[in-house]
Amino acid sequence: MNWIKKTLGIGEKIKRLITKHRPTKEETEKSDWTSCCKGPILKKDLEENLWCCNLCGKHHRINSRQRFDVFFGKNNYEILETPMPVDDPISWKDTKSYSKRLKDARNKNNQECAVLIAKGKINNIELVCAAMNFNFIGGSMGTAEGEAIISGIQHSIDNSIPFIIFTSTGGARMMESGLSLMQMTRTVLAVNELKSKKLPYIVCLSSPTSGGVTASFAMLGDIQIAEPGAEIIFAGRRVIESTIKEELPENFQTAEHTLKCGFVDTIIPRKNLPEKIGILLSILLNKNSEVNSSSENETSKDTKQLSKVAS
């Protein structure tokens, strides 16, 4: 190659021709294609199937608005405004400043933080729904996300309607340090207040759900639902294996394994979530409204019905 470079000056051209081009992250995002089990797949085809692969059934990640479109129906919901605390409270900077990361994430996702709150109806039942967006700094939980969830729960309490959350997150946001970890306690207290009002709280775990979110509000649902194949994690696999000095099962931290261990009540495909959650809410709200007058047999009947729907 040296003599070609020296004599003809075309070494770099040849090198570019024989070197496989690796698309940048920006090129991948702008492309009409993505990849799945059998290779390239049109994003349009994936969207028509609710961002689920027809061949392997993989549930691809979706953003907050896409989640509301799937759950409520396109434009059949209202986005609620949530409080926005001060950006970059500890002036964090690594390869670039946290303020710059927030600005980029907001421009890219058209939302102010990783959590959006919407109000809509399922099975003619009004409810508040929160959806986490993994594309927004890994769906991580900072003060703005904590405020959004608490605000959504407060709206549920004020209007005596159920609250549902779809999780997709890397956990607590390191750029906010202890302030991020504080949101674990704050959101748990809000969930407890919701439950004290006898209002249903349903959690739907999508991939991935991890870290401080898994350790707080994500595992406190009256009903715990997961999408097929969802990764449900606290600490990473390698961290656990290096700590306990044992090899973990192959499907460890998947929704299916978590279901066997009793931490998830049921696994429901994305396309069936509106129908199934609508039925569950009908049962839960009926049970709550008659809790003081229902007999032991009626309570037992409701419990069996819930189990049937979940399965």
For 37-91, write each residue's pLDDT tens digit.
Answer: 888 999 999 999 999 999 999 999 999 999 999 999 999 999 999 999 999 999 9
Q: Which residue has 């946001």 as its token pair?
A: 173
CA distance 90 to 188: 24
Q: Which residue has 């994690």 as its token pair?
A: 233
Q: What pLDDT is attached to residue 293?
A: 46
- Find residue 80's DSSP bridge partners: 117
Task: Identify whether the C-beta of residue 130 lies closer than 8 Å to the C-beta of residue 163.
Answer: yes
For 253-279, write each residue's pLDDT tens digit.
Answer: 999 999 999 999 999 999 999 999 999
Least confident among 22-26, 188-192, 272-276: 22-26
CA distance 50 to 32: 16
The more confident residue out of 293 and 193 is 193
Q: What pLDDT is attached to residue 284?
A: 93
